[in-house]
A and B are shown apart, each in its own frame.
Chain A
Amino acid sequence: MLKIENLDVYYGHVHALKGISMEINQGELVALLGSNGAGKSTTLMSISGILRPKAGRITYDETDLTRESTRAIVQRGIVQCPEGRRIFGGLTVLENLRMGAMRRKERSNLSADLERVFGLFPILGQRKNQSGSTLSGGEQQMLAIARSLMADPHLLMLDEPSLGLAPIIVEEIFNVIRNLHHQGVTILLVEQNARQALEISDRCYVLETGRVVLSGSGDELKANPKIENYYLGGSAG
């Protein structure tokens, strides 16, 4: 469905991605792991057309995305829920969700979709007329995910959805991601929380300083001693 081939991306003068390749198939949950500065967010921003690659290709169902505008990419159903939530704090919950639905042309089943995201995150339904800035961190993350779901994404890219949240909220967020996956949504999940990401993903890529250093199924990687050491807090260094 989405295919990245030998992607080279510079972030200013920094060579952020050094020829990475990866693939995401229809209905898969793929995790992208790595430490800070490995190039995870850069990968997502390149797919979304915010950053332009120096070389390489990103194709989605055989169409080249590297020349398309962010808006055109979103209209194809490739939707990113960015790191740090970035909800619109001055807009109400409802207005935030309405912005999420901007890509869609038919507005008729908007209320059905609102019901759906309020079903996933009941707290948002209770707070629908509150401004986004009054929500707690966990609620803001839920709103950010709900907002991208309003776009009815074919490929949902989540950048560090668990960052800075209490463990119980992290648990809830991961449950929602697992549910979405079971409903057939294709997901690319960027995480530092490797243990949980490996648990729920079909396949994983591990990035290190702009290169894919490991890839495989969640179970394969869990058994890999390198992963154990670096990401799962193994004792041997």
Chain B
Amino acid sequence: MSTGYYILQQLINAVSIGSLYALMAIGLAMVFGILRLINFAHGDLIMVGSYAALLLLGLNVPFWLAALAAVLVSVIFGLLMERVAYRPIRGAQDVSMLLTSFAVTIFLENLAIIIFTPKSRPFPTPEFLRSALTFGPLRISNLDLAAIVVAVILLIGLTFFITRTEMGIAMRATSQDNLAARLMGIDVNRVIMAAFIIGSMLAGIVGLLWSARVGKIDPLMGFNPVLKAFVASVIGGLGSIPGAVLGGYVLGTLEILLQGLLPSSLSPYRDAFVFVILITLLLFRRNGILGSTEREKI
């Protein structure tokens, strides 16, 4: 295979995995922007959606319907999380909110372990996602293609939402200045619920693509994606939506790049190299690429 094709092939891989990170990171960014809450339980929304899909596919429900229901289940859990766990402690210290999100994670994961056992189960990836398109030496799996297309559609929709709709503008306003937003009569509760709905919806969609890619699901499957999404949003600037998207693609590219460049003896340590790069970045831009350069007021 020529170098040009090889690079193009790797680029497609990077954009595909980067799309998943970006979509996950958006949910974290929206919630953090408004509530200063790092919602680690965001990863478990992937898990609940994937189990919902698994159960429905087991009942021979058509894939599109199972997918739709899975996303809906993620959204319901996201809203429940907000209402039951986060709303009562709104305005508490950042650390308390972070710990609460750990509690939600532990609760949901153990609930899944009780119901589904800790064993992983094969995820019945539908046939049309398993095949691939080939252009000469270039091979694009339908899954990569689906991830990229879905991400492009969702990002266009999201851009329209946050720049054109009243709720989207209100969301940006609230994340910039909560008090001023309240003084304008913005319904902050509704804004927060909208952030959870959109974030959970994206997590549910990512969950389907992730499970189809990995081929199996288990109760702790949300940890890896939420960690990646967190790293992506730190790279881009925590709380910034464009930053989350950029960070997702930067992280995806970094991973694929390191995978290609590292000698095979070092490739198990790929993540360590990613974190070295992250730390170096934060030394120079402590608020991420698109985060404000302003120092925090003390």
Contacts and interface: CB of A to CB of B under 8 A. Distances in A.
A88 B183 contact: no
Contacts of A79: 183, 185
Interface string A113-156: 00000000000000000000000000000000001000100000
Contacts of B278: none
A111 to B, nearest CB: 15
Interface stretch (B102-110, B173-181, B215-223): B173-181
Contacts of B181: 88, 99
B177 A98 contact: no
A91 B163 CA distance: 9
A151 B185 CA distance: 9
A87 B179 CA distance: 11
Interface string A91-112: 1000110111011000000000
A147 B185 CA distance: 12
Given A82-B179, A86-B179, A102-B166, A147 B184 contact: yes
Given A88-B172, A90-B172, A82 B185 contact: no
A71 B173 contact: no
A70 B182 contact: yes
The dominant DSSP class at the B interface is helix
B55 interface: no
Contact of B176 (A50, A75, A89): A89
Interface in B129-185: 166, 169-170, 172-173, 176-177, 179-185
A91 B172 contact: yes
Contacts of B187: 71
A91 B177 CA distance: 11
B186 interface: yes
Nearest to B180: A86
Contacts, number: 62
A91 B183 contact: no
A192 interface: no
A58 interface: no
A86 B173 CA distance: 11
Given A91-B169, A95-B169, A102 B176 contact: no
A70 B172 contact: no
A151 B181 CA distance: 13
A57 B193 CA distance: 32
Contacts of B182: 50, 70-71
A43 interface: no
Contacts of A30: none
Nearest to B190: A71
A74 B186 CA distance: 9
A7 B91 CA distance: 25
A74 B185 contact: yes
A103 B185 contact: yes
Nearest to A87: B180
A147 B181 CA distance: 11
A50 B185 CA distance: 12
A147 B183 CA distance: 11
Contacts of B173: 88, 91, 95-96, 99
B169 A98 contact: yes
B184 A102 contact: yes
B117 to A, nearest CB: 46
A162 interface: no
A80 interface: yes
A50 B184 contact: no
Nearest to B177: A86
A42 interface: no
A90 B176 contact: yes
A151 to B, nearest CB: 7
A103 B172 contact: no
B183 A74 contact: yes
Which of B170, B182, B185: most chain A CB closer than 10 A? B185
Interface string A64-83: 00000011001100011010
A46 interface: no
Interface in B173-215: 173, 176-177, 179-187
Contacts of A86: 177, 179-180, 183
A102 B170 CA distance: 9
Given A50-B179, A89-B176, A91-B176, A100 B169 contact: no
A48 interface: yes
A74 B172 CA distance: 20
A194 B162 CA distance: 42
B237 to A, nearest CB: 12
A102 B183 contact: no
Contact of A82 (B169, B170, B183, B186): B183
Contacts of B183: 48, 50, 70, 74, 79-80, 82, 86
Interface of B: 166, 169-170, 172-173, 176-177, 179-187
14 contacts: A48-B183, A50-B183, A70-B182, A70-B183, A71-B186, A86-B177, A86-B183, A88-B177, A88-B180, A91-B176, A95-B169, A95-B173, A99-B186, A102-B170
